[in-house]
Structure 1
């Protein structure tokens, strides 16, 4: 197994993001449109937070009651800001990191996505637990 492979071999480069100040409804739309479960929050090209689908579910009780999507979006957008729901200062890995380092971080954490950064927090990619499992399967 290639434990020292650079994380750049595994990471997604064209990351779906939202911008600091965007409404929560935008996150919900991106999840539905792209099927992603973790979306970095950026200010310019720097990561300032991350929001997961589970974060949205935690605050959108309407999803549990089959409420109209527009009603859920409007309620969330008028009661909460993205900054109130997202996790700030997410754990990141430098683009010079390895697959092993990413696996160690995700194995010891209670989150399932790892933003990959260049320099001082410039978002350049993303790795998820699922990416690591797929990588592992390819090794056998």
Structure 2
């Protein structure tokens, strides 16, 4: 196994993002359209938070009851803001951080994605799926 492999080798650079003022309905649509499970929240290109599909499911009980999508979206947009649902100040790493550092953090099981930043600018994301693919490439 490669020791001290930088995250720049496995991170996704094309990141689906949400803007801090986006309604939750737009974020739900981003999850469905792009098939991702984590979306960093930005103000311009500055990372301010991250929202996961699990965060959205936690607040959208309608999803559990097969309610009309428009009704769920309208209810969420009128009762919550993205800032209330997202995780503020997420744990981040840099492109030069090691794959091992990311694995140690994600192995804690608290969350499954790490935004990659340069200063406060979002430049990528690493997920547990990226780490598993990296591990599979080692065999």
> Any gaps of 5 or more consecutive residues in structure 2?
none
Cα RMSD of the aligned pairs, angstroms, is: 0.8
- 2:79 maps to 79
Distance 1:99 1:74 in 2: 40
Distance 1:44 1:97 in 2: 24
Moved over 4 A (4+): none
- Using the size of structure 1 for normalisation, the TM-score is 0.97
**Mapping 1:74-113, distance limit 5 Å:** 74-113=74-113
**Mapping 1:1-140, distance limit 5 Å:** 1-119=1-119, 121-140=120-139
How far 1:132 moved relative to its partner? Answer: 0.2
> Any gaps of 5 or more consecutive residues in structure 1?
none
Distance 1:36 1:25 in 2: 15
- Using the size of structure 2 for normalisation, the TM-score is 0.98
How far 1:109 moved relative to its partner? Answer: 4.3
